[in-house]
Amino acid sequence: MADDTGLFVDALDGRPGVHTARYAGVGASYEENVAKLLHELAGVGTTGSPGRRATFRTCIALVWPDGRECIGEGAVTGIITPERRGSGGFGYDPVFAPVEGDGRTFAEMSQYEKGVLSHRSRALERLLEQL
């Protein structure tokens, strides 16, 4: 079983994308990655600006020794906020406000609330449908 998640920001031509975990460099902290993202988006409008639109995508693959495989993909679209908000979650959660939500970032939500909207939970749901 393996999984990967990426954050794809419209104004940055899809960056950080597959480099989400190491956006500010190999070994960079969550704080450093978020700081780089906010720096690069500093001139891109406000929270409602289309350029701040982003999508979290997760892919989970399950492969058996005989070669059978199941793949689940999930996505959630949101907006990158101009500043960090909230203390929960990890990674880019303090700056990602899902469009389907109520304006709060993932870091401002409870684990349950985030799980309802999460790209990871959606990928797991797709995977479970195949099992």
Q: Which residues contact 11 (CB under 8 A, 6 or more apart)?
A: 41, 44, 51, 52, 53
Q: How confident is the model at residue 131 (pLDDT cuts 50, 70, 90)?
A: confident
The model carries a pTM of 0.89
* Rounded Cα gap, residues 121 and 98, in angstroms: 14
pLDDT in tens, 24-78: 999 999 999 999 999 999 887 665 667 799 999 999 999 999 999 999 999 999 9
Asked whether the beta carbons of 95 and 37 are under 8 A apart, the reply is yes
Q: Among all residues, which ones are annotated catalytic?
A: 4
Class of CATH domain 2-130: alpha beta
